[in-house]
Amino acid sequence: MPTTHSVCPLDCPDRCSLDVTVEAGKVTAIAGSRVNPITDGFICDKVRHFTERQYGADRLLHPMRRSGPRGSGQFERITWDEALDTIAVRMREARKVHGGEAILPFNYGGSNGMLTQGGTDEWLWRSIGASRLARTVCAAPTGEACRALYGRMASHDFPDFEQARFILIWGANPKHSNIHLMPYLKAARAAGAKIALVDPRLTMSAQYVDMHLPVYPGSDAAVALAMIGHLDRSGRVDRGFLNAHATGSDRLLSRAREWTLERAAARARVKASDIAAIAEAYAAAQPALLRCGWGLERNRNAESSVAAVLALPAVAGKFGVPGGGYALAASPAYDVDDDRLAGKPEAPTRSINMNRLGRALVEETRPPIDVLFVYNCNPVVTIPDQNRVRRGLMRDDLFTVVFEQVMTDSALYADILLPATTFLEHTELSNSYGTYAVMLGAPAVAPAGEARSNEEVFAALAERLGVAEGMPRGEALLRRALASIGGPMGGDGGRKEDALERLRRDKILRFDFPGERPVQFVTTFPTTADGKVHLWPEALGDDPYVVLPDPGDADPRHPLALISPATNKTISSSLAEYGFREAVLEMHPDDARSRRLADGALVRVHNDLGEVVVPLRINREVRPGVVFLPKGLWNRHTRNGAVSTAVSPDHVTAVSGGACFNDARVEVQSA
């Protein structure tokens, strides 16, 4: 059967290359290919079954207008012209009455491609002076902390994990969120590497994990500082490295000395000896690799936690060898020029933090938000404080557009609903945030129904609003997107032309590192102003290593920490329409016993913000004092039509305004 080359554009670090089989104009199979060597011919179940989205009952096939109350999901079919004209009229009106800032574009990770995000959409928003969106729901604190310490230094690529003799996995769950790392972890283990996991849950079996530190959520800064303090007291700090390559180490070390093992152990609710054991094993091994995930950033203490964790490889002298240093997002190294991609510079309009959507819709008055345009995002289930978001969307005078592939919980609130193509139906240029490659995907089939691509829809709106002149489209947009990538792929415009030809021929463009992959402090270095690691980074404020008290300390009625990390069933909330049947809450047996809750019992997970009703699963792999609901549920997956964001506070991290999902403190009772 003939296959088409494609690329998975979902918000996943692996960025698989795909072979798509088409029969009689329909996609019949999706499999991993070897174009991206990391994919190695296998993909996750979710995307293997993507035809369930493509041809499923939830797929949106034509534009619609709301015909019942907000949120009711009652719509009537209209034409594209009616839909686009209505939107254009409402936008023009909003601009006339309150100015461009009365329009709020709302988008995030639904499509990680460069043609569906940041190009024609940004051109439109910038041209009409819309409010800007601070895209902070994920990775903002981690990115901020990493940049503050190391600038845009490239991170380790997956294959080098094999060379490590000790791998410290901190707040990441590769078994679910980064499955193509697993073969390299396995190979490292086979070659004798030890693996330690710092996570409130035991996410991997003994086949992978030698040491597990089940920290209480939000306590990572204390633990990492205590490790640094312990290395210092026991003479394991690499002074030579620090003197040559770092600034601020004295201040960091003196701060770390305040965090004795015992003090950190009390904050993290773990054993002091376990913190010491991991620090010692890490210091002793060479090469040792730190894999920092995104689980530790989803609380108020985020920037300090990530900074303290990322300081470890500098303090312990782990750089300078393949398989040593840290592995985090690859994205900083791409150094994408957003202005070039958008085709025009950003205007300094009002910025709205996406994590406070509910508040913005209700409380912003100068000007109020008159038009909300949601695309590549499902805020009703993915943004903190679900009930507040819903109240905001119910505002009588709000005009909401949702541009979606399927009938999500957010789509239900649309005044105008627009059907979007999937990656099987449009051209896409995808850069990976896990590894160093760019790939091009061509449409495998014609759009379902009347679905249109983001590029088409934003261009059509720009035309109606009179701002389309000069907007790059098609091939020109593709070239511009490619040219906006800097870093080790960068070069002059002329070279980029060759790059597109090469990309078409080879289906993949790899980064031009000296050597096949980046090796930190050998072929890739900090890009801070002085080229050094900033261990007391001013960018993180007066005190980069503040350890905040646990939010539960002030809330004794809600003693359990609720975390809601990624699972293998969805990508954020994408594909949940077929990925999930019903969600369960996972709880440690001790917590279930003290609450007289039996396995399978229906429970209420609640706090002052809201509640979620689901069956209970008792599971020793979650530490005591912590409960776990999956990220990305839809309302239909719980008994009361609410998801974990219903109990997530919408306060944000101090430096970068990041989301604090894991600051949810709850009580659980029989329902």
Ligand X SMILES: Nc1nc2c(c(=O)[nH]1)N[C@H]1C(S)=C(S)[C@@H](COP(=O)(O)OP(=O)(O)OC[C@H]3O[C@@H](n4cnc5c(=O)[nH]c(N)nc54)[C@H](O)[C@@H]3O)O[C@H]1N2
Q: In this structure, are residues 646 and 661 in contact, taking their beta carbons and an 8 Å threshold? A: no
Q: Which of 252, 327, 360, 406 binds ligand X (CB under 6 A)?
A: 406
Peptide bond into 447 cis (omega under 30): no
136 binds ligand X (CB under 6 A): no
12 binds ligand SF4 (CB under 6 A): yes
- On the 0-12 / 13-18 / 19+ scale of CB atoms within 10 A, 189 is middle
Q: Could you tell which of ligand SF4, ligand X, Mo ion, none binds residue 16, using a CB distance below 5 to 8 A set by kind?
A: ligand SF4
Strands 194-198 and 211-213, sheet pairing: parallel
Q: Tell me how many residues contact ligand SF4 (CB under 6 A).
A: 12
Strands 325-327 and 288-292, sheet pairing: parallel
User: Whose Cβ is closer to ligand SF4: residue 33's or residue 301's?
Assistant: 33
Separation of alpha carbons 52 and 479, rounded Å = 33
547 binds ligand X (CB under 6 A): no
Segment interacting with ligand SF4, rule: CB under 6 A, options 43-51, 88-96, 561-569, 589-597: 43-51
Q: Which tokens go with 109? A: 């990770």
Separation of alpha carbons 178 and 434, rounded Å = 8
Q: Which of 101, 199, 385, 667 binds ligand X (CB under 6 A)?
A: 199
Q: Which of 294, 521, 525, 634 binds ligand X (CB under 6 A)?
A: 294
Measured from the CB of residue 13, what is the shortest distance to ligand SF4 in angstroms? 7
311 binds ligand SF4 (CB under 6 A): no
571 binds ligand X (CB under 6 A): yes
Q: Could you tell which of ligand SF4, ligand X, Mo ion, none binds residue 8, using a CB distance below 5 to 8 A set by kind?
A: ligand SF4
User: Whose Cβ is closer to ligand SF4: residue 38's or residue 193's?
Assistant: 38
Q: In this structure, are residues 431 and 485 in contact, taking their beta carbons and an 8 Å threshold? A: yes
Measured from the CB of residue 162, what is the shortest distance to ligand SF4 in angstroms? 19
Q: In this structure, are residues 389 and 171 in contact, taking their beta carbons and an 8 Å threshold? A: no
650 binds ligand X (CB under 6 A): no
Separation of alpha carbons 241 and 286, rounded Å = 15
Segment interacting with ligand SF4, rule: CB under 6 A, options 7-15, 540-548, 588-596, 600-608: 7-15
Q: Which of 27, 38, 44, 311 binds ligand SF4 (CB under 6 A)?
A: 44
| Helix or strand (DSSP H, E) at 142 | helix 140-150
Q: Could you tell which of ligand X, Mo ion, ligand SF4, none binds residue 520, using a CB distance below 5 to 8 A set by kind?
A: none
Separation of alpha carbons 538 and 535, rounded Å = 9
DSSP letters for 485-551? --GGG---HHHHHHHHHHHHHHSEEE---SSSS--BTTTB---STTSSEESS-GGG-S-TT--PPPG
Q: Which residue is nearest to Mo ion (CB)?
A: 138
Q: In this structure, are residues 560 and 665 in contact, taking their beta carbons and an 8 Å threshold? A: yes
Q: Could you tell which of ligand X, ligand SF4, Mo ion, none binds residue 220, using a CB distance below 5 to 8 A set by kind?
A: ligand X
Determine the residue type at 637.
H
Residue 69, number of CB atoms within 10 A of its CB = 9
- On the 0-12 / 13-18 / 19+ scale of CB atoms within 10 A, 363 is exposed
DSSP letters for 570-606? -BTTBTHHHH-S---EEE-HHHHHHTT--TT-EEEEE
Q: Which of 63, 100, 109, 141 binds ligand X (CB under 6 A)?
A: 109
84 binds ligand X (CB under 6 A): no
Q: Which of 6, 16, 38, 488 binds ligand SF4 (CB under 6 A)?
A: 16
Segment interacting with ligand X, rule: CB under 6 A, options 168-176, 226-234, 458-466, 597-605: 168-176
Segment interacting with ligand SF4, rule: CB under 6 A, options 10-18, 207-215, 247-255, 327-335: 10-18
Q: Please give the residue ranges that form the binding site for ligand SF4 (CB under 6 A).
A: 8, 10, 12, 14-16, 43-44, 46-47, 179, 571
Q: Please give the residue ranges that form the binding site for ligand X (CB under 6 A).
A: 11-12, 108-111, 116, 137-138, 170-173, 176-177, 198-201, 203, 215, 217-218, 220, 293-296, 298-299, 375-378, 382, 403-406, 408, 420, 454, 563-568, 570-574, 631-632, 644-645, 648, 661-662
